[in-house]
């Protein structure tokens, strides 16, 4: 009996304890996938044992506490944050993680500081494609290579695994990715310093000790009271500057004027030339267009020579203004750097600060003398023969002109070009000089066959007797003069009034053929003849002479022609 009562008592106590325990767990309200507070109850070699107020104590691997110096601060009784994955696994164990708690906490903090752009401390722990891995508050983040520093770094060893300040620049909540930047922190700090320093300078200030930090082809970087400033190459001098590095050295001190301060970008622009008067302001008072002066060649280019005419004032003598006979001459063949030369000012443009010069204008112009030879016979030396012309140099001038194949002879035969070779001396007449171009003519030295019309008083409408020179399929060629210098083609349609008689094959070379001049352009050397037109005129003449009597007598036109021709033959006998 006693044993049964004891068993009943123990069972009752067990039920009471179970009810109290269940009630306690119910009051604790543990939820999975959240961060909870846990109390350290034991620290072993491999685990940290914690009380989460669950049915069992939780065990966290010691590796999850090896972030920084956290493991050295662990004490029994201390409370830490842990991530509750599962209240009870299939083994009846509670699953918790210190590392996940740290990452979740870090992510929440990251979301907050992303909005406020608050600085955080991180550690650059490794390199990946395009950048580095930076661990911030236990959360792995991506730092692009361009965001490491304000300037490209050749070595990164001094920044690996050491505390660095960063700012979150991008967060992808769906993928759980974060991008951070150390450069943004440096620039923020630098901008704050610059903003403070800019309070001490203003536009128009003259700075005595601006230090040259670096040079490029387009300008110089200066340091002015701890502020970076740009001195553009165009602000170095009123004259032309080839390379800034030719004028300054690194570390040199310059006197400059602050010309612009951009409050949005904190960029400062400086100028050296602003300290001196612009020489172009009064340039027209000192130098006159059309006058001749002396200067020094300072630079040679393929297109011309730059000549210094005054302090910080240069002019350009284009290659076309160097030589009278060669418009494309290379300046280096005439000038050398530092050479003193005379020049004539052609144009001054104050707005663009450009001055045009002419060297050839100070030399005798051979074109003036050549113009005296227009219409006169001269000698040329063949320099070149092209497909359609001969180019020859006019003796004793150095000037070259053109003899077109049509100006070799009045036959205008392109084969005439083959009669000449390079180096031949040819007598020609100067036809024209225009825009520094000379036209020669060889045939102009001979009598023009077209003068035959003037000498024989022939004009449009005149009937002339020609000789058949050549029979073609499309007509016949006839010679007008005895020397056969005037050869004209009569088209098939103009060979006879009647189509049946207008066949070229019925004609023979040497036969006489009367034709009417229907077109005559002496200047353009155009002649048009028509046998048909001559026959029509003759017919009209006969009708006018015999037509009235023939109509009354009933005579036919054939009979009139035969009668007229018969009378003509009798008279000839």
What per-residue confidence (pLDDT) applies to 238? Answer: 74
Query: For residue 24, which phi and psi values (nearest 5 degrees)?
Result: -70, -45
| pTM of the shown model | 0.45
3-class secondary structure, 10:
helix
Report mean pLDDT in 10-residue bins for the chain, 573 residues.
Answer: 60 62 55 75 81 75 70 77 70 73 77 82 89 85 89 83 89 83 83 69 82 86 81 80 81 86 78 82 87 92 91 89 87 93 92 90 84 86 91 85 90 88 91 87 86 88 90 90 86 86 86 90 88 87 66 46 51 45
Question: 283-362: which CATH topology?
Answer: OB fold (Dihydrolipoamide Acetyltransferase, E2P) (2.40.50)
Q: Cα–chain-centroid distance for residue 285?
A: 39
Kind of pairing between the strands at 400-404 and 437-441: parallel
For the chain, which residues make up each domain, given as ranges?
Answer: 23-115, 117-188, 201-275, 283-362, 366-445, 451-538
Among candidate residues 358, 425, 350, 360, the one with its CA nearest the CA of residue 394:
425
Q: Give kind and range of the element (H or E) at residue 323.
A: none
Question: 117-188: which CATH topology?
Answer: OB fold (Dihydrolipoamide Acetyltransferase, E2P) (2.40.50)
Q: Please count the CA atoms within 13 angstroms of the CA of 478 that sit on its side-chain side.
A: 27
Q: Please count the CA atoms within 13 angstroms of the CA of 543 that sit on its side-chain side.
A: 8
Our CA dihedral for 547, 549, 551, 557, rounded to 10 degrees, sits at: -50
CATH match for 366-445 among 3.30.70.20, 2.40.50.140, 2.40.10.10, 1.10.357.10 = 2.40.50.140
Rounded to an integer, what distance in angstroms lies between the CA atom of residue 170 and that of residue 176?
Answer: 11
Query: For residue 67, which phi and psi values (nearest 5 degrees)?
Result: -100, 110
Q: Cα–chain-centroid distance for residue 221?
A: 28
Kind of pairing between the strands at 526-530 and 340-349: unpaired
> Are 486 and 515 a contacting pair, CB within 8 Å?
no
Instruction: Tell me the CA distances in angstroms from 524 to 406, 418, 527, one per residue in order.
Output: 12, 25, 9
> Are 490 and 497 a contacting pair, CB within 8 Å?
no
For CA atoms 285, 291, 295, 298, the dihedral sign is: positive
Question: What CATH number belongs to 451-538?
Answer: 2.40.50.140
Q: Which two three-digit tokens encode residue 202?
A: 């203003």
What per-residue confidence (pLDDT) applies to 17? Answer: 56
Residue with tokens 């006879």: 496
What does the radius of gyration of the chain's CA atoms come to, in whole angstroms? 54
Kind of pairing between the strands at 206-216 and 253-262: antiparallel
The DSSP result for 514-570, as a single string, is EEEEEEEETTTTEEEEEHHHHHHHHHHHHHHHHHHHHHHHT--HHHHHHHHHHHHHH
- The residues near 341 (Cβ < 8 Å, ≥ 6 apart) are 294, 295, 296, 297, 307, 335, 359
Architecture per CATH, 23-115? Beta Barrel (2.40)
Question: 201-275: which CATH topology?
Answer: OB fold (Dihydrolipoamide Acetyltransferase, E2P) (2.40.50)
What per-residue confidence (pLDDT) applies to 549? Answer: 47
Residue 160 DSSP one-character state: B
For CA atoms 29, 34, 39, 43, the dihedral sign is: positive
> Are 74 and 40 a contacting pair, CB within 8 Å?
yes
| Identical topology for domains 201-275 and 451-538 | yes
Residue 111 DSSP one-character state: H
Our CA dihedral for 207, 209, 213, 217, rounded to 10 degrees, sits at: 60
Our CA dihedral for 20, 23, 28, 30, rounded to 10 degrees, sits at: 120
């Amino acid at each position: 009996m006693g044993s049964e009562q004891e068993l009943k008592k123990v069972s009752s106590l067990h039920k009471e304890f179970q009810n109290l325990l269940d009630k306690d767990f119910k009051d604790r309200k543990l939820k999975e996938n959240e961060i909870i507070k846990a109390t350290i109850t034991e620290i072993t070699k491999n685990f940290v044992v914690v009380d989460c107020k669950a049915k069992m104590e939780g065990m966290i691997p010691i590796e999850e506490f090896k972030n920084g110096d956290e493991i050295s601060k662990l004490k029994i009784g201390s409370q830490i944050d842990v991530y509750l994955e599962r209240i009870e696994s299939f083994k009846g164990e509670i699953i918790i993680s210190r590392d996940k708690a740290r990452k979740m906490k870090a992510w929440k903090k990251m979301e907050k500081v992303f909005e406020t752009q608050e600085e955080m401390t991180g550690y650059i722990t490794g390199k990946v494609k395009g950048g580095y891995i930076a661990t911030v508050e236990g959360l792995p983040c991506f730092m692009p290579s361009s965001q490491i520093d304000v300037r490209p770094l050749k070595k990164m060893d001094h920044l690996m695994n050491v505390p660095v300040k960063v700012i979150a620049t991008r967060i992808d909540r769906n993928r759980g990715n974060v991008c951070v930047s150390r450069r943004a922190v440096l620039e923020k700090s630098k901008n704050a310093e610059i903003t403070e320093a800019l309070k001490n300078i203003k536009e128009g200030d003259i700075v005595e000790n601006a230090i040259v930090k670096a040079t490029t082809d387009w300008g110089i970087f200066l340091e002015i009271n701890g502020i970076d400033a740009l001195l553009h190459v165009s602000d170095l001098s009123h004259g032309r500057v080839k390379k800034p590095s030719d004028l300054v050295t690194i570390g040199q001190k310059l006197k400059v004027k602050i010309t612009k301060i951009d409050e949005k970008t904190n960029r400062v622009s400086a100028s050296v030339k602003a300290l001196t008067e612009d020489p172009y302001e009064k340039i027209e008072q000192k130098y006159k267009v059309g006058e001749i002066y002396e200067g020094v060649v300072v630079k040679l280019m393929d297109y011309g020579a730059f000549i210094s005419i005054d302090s910080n004032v240069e002019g350009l003598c284009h290659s076309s203004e160097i030589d009278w006979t060669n418009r494309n001459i290379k300046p280096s063949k005439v000038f050398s750097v530092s050479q003193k030369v005379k020049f004539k000012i052609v144009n001054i443009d104050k707005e663009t600060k450009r001055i045009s010069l002419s060297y050839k204008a100070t030399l005798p112009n051979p074109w003036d003398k050549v113009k005296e030879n227009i219409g006169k016979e001269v000698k040329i030396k063949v320099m070149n023969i092209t497909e359609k012309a001969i180019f020859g140099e006019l003796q004793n001038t150095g000037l070259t002109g053109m003899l077109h194949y049509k100006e070799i002879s009045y036959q205008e035969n392109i084969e005439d070009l083959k009669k000449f070779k390079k180096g031949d001396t040819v007598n020609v007449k100067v036809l024209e000089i225009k825009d520094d171009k000379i036209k020669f003519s060889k045939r102009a030295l001979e009598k023009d066959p077209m003068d035959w019309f003037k000498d024989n008083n022939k004009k449009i409408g005149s009937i002339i007797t020609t000789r058949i020179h050549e029979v073609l399929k499309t007509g016949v060629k006839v010679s007008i003069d005895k020397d056969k210098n005037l050869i004209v083609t009569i088209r098939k349609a103009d060979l006879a009034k009647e189509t049946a008689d207008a066949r070229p094959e019925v004609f023979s070379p040497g036969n006489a053929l009367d034709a009417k001049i229907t077109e005559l352009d002496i200047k353009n050397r155009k002649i048009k003849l028509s046998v048909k037109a001559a026959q029509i005129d003759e017919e009209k003449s006969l009708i006018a002479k015999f037509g009235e009597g023939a109509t009354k007598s009933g005579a036919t036109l054939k009979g009139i022609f035969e009668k007229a021709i018969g009378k003509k033959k009798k008279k000839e006998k």
